[in-house]
Amino acid sequence: MNRTVKVIAATGTVALALAACSSKSKTPSSSSASSTPPAATSASASSAAASSSSAAPSSAPVSSSAPAGGGATNVCMVLDTGGVDDRSFNQSSWQGLQDANKANPKITISYVGSNTGNDYTPNLNAEVTKGCSTIIAVGGLMGDNVKTAAAANPKQQFAEIDYPSTGPNVYGIQFNTAQGGFLGGYLAASYSKSGVVATFGGLNIPPVTIYMDGFVAGVRYYDKLNHATVKVLGYTPPKVCTLTNCAGKGTFVGNFTDQTAGKSDTTTFFSEGADIVFPVAGSVGLGSVAAAKLAGAGHSIMWVDSNGCVSDAADCKYFIGTVAKGVEPSVEAAVLSAAQGTFKAGTYIGTLANNGTAVEYGGIKVSAKLKSEIAKAKAGIIAGTISVNPNSYPAVK
């Protein structure tokens, strides 16, 4: 169960996690806006304007080839591993780009897929050579690659999801999903009949564990508030967050593509008493859905990133909810800004306050009373009266 992969994250990404604690083809694939969209599209965490940032962008627009006044522009996206139809992170990022194209048809869009991390730099360089006015990198694992490419091409606009800005021509898009994860944990703990829930990740990196830290905090908060003892399997938050160690210990598949491993780990959690499992692992989570189907009634999944009932509508009845990132509207806003010639560097951080993260309910009925409790918790987090630090609450032993 403990297939943990150790990854050293960049300081900026770890700093966000600190705040929370306080494809398998042989060649990259590509697509354009004129091609058929993926089979399922993802939903947003709701509207999140890139200008609503808790980390202010730089004051001057970055010089680029993007025309002012909404003229024609070419925006290219480099996806992470897992494919464009992963029902999660890649898919929601591409959907945001398609939304921008729909809002402004003069924007030409395309993507290129990455099969492994070795594809990041070649893909980024190819998009620069292709003459893309703005290049959007999907995923924090591309952070160093984007930093290098941006420094080598100072007049090229870049944006990166799940990573802070690393230069005057890079727009960072991050999300404090510990806040949404907290609400997901509270929902899971409230709905669980067995008193046991579970979570596991794709990689042990801050963009993943920040979800998990929040999820555990939400369960512990539910326990404290209701004098309950709901147990969380699969992840233990760190006792202390530092810049070099903010990720806890637990179950990590080691990638975002192995659905067989996701099914196996989820089946194990079910056998250990969990009745709700929260996979923070992209398309690996589809294996969790398969496990829930086999386990039968009383077993459900908390989805991640994009609304599961939209991105995987056929399996909606297995979702208690989704801990969502506002990837789609954030990408759309950034692209529309670039097309208007108002692109700025800096870092946007999505929160509950600016709808950059949220809990969206699934196909399993949730009572009005429970929804009211979650709304109250959301208000408390925004007001700063409720902590999303899991160590603020006692753990069930």
Domains and CATH numbers, the chain: 24-176+327-350 (3.40.50.2300), 177-325+357-392 (3.40.50.2300)
- Confidence (pLDDT) at 239: 82
Query: Cα(74)–Cα(66) distance, rounded to whole angstroms?
Result: 8
Query: Cα(260)–Cα(271) distance, rounded to whole angstroms?
Result: 17
Q: How does pLDDT run along the chain (397 residues), one tens digit per residue?
A: 333 333 333 334 434 444 455 433 333 334 433 322 222 222 333 222 222 333 323 222 222 333 333 446 899 999 999 899 888 889 999 999 999 999 999 999 999 999 999 999 999 999 999 999 999 999 889 999 999 999 999 999 999 999 999 999 999 999 999 999 999 999 999 999 999 999 999 999 888 999 999 999 999 999 999 999 999 999 999 887 654 456 789 999 999 999 999 999 999 999 999 999 999 999 999 999 999 999 999 999 999 998 999 989 999 999 999 999 999 999 999 999 999 988 889 999 999 999 999 999 999 999 999 999 999 999 999 999 999 999 999 988 7
How many Cα atoms occupy the beta-carbon half-sphere of 258 within 13 Å? 15
* 362 class by beta-carbon count within 10 Å (0-12 exposed, 13-18 middle, 19+ buried): buried
* 155 class by beta-carbon count within 10 Å (0-12 exposed, 13-18 middle, 19+ buried): exposed
Taking a C-beta distance cutoff of 8 angstroms, is the pair 213, 181 a contact? yes
Taking Cα atoms as reference points, which of 331, 378, 381, 326 lies closest to residue 355?
Answer: 326
- Confidence (pLDDT) at 247: 77
Query: Cα(76)–Cα(156) distance, rounded to whole angstroms?
Result: 12
Q: Enter the pTM of the model.
A: 0.80
Taking a C-beta distance cutoff of 8 angstroms, is the pair 177, 357 a contact? yes
**Structure tokens, 89:** 């992170």
- Confidence (pLDDT) at 42: 29
Beta partners for residue 108, in sequence order: 74
Query: Cα(110)–Cα(74) distance, rounded to whole angstroms?
Result: 8
Q: How far is CA 87 from each of CA 307, 309, 361, rounded to the nearest angstrom?
A: 9, 10, 16
With residue 226 as reference, give the H or E element that holds it. Answer: helix 206-226
- Confidence (pLDDT) at 209: 94
Taking a C-beta distance cutoff of 8 angstroms, is the pair 210, 17 a contact? yes
Per DSSP, 256 falls in state S
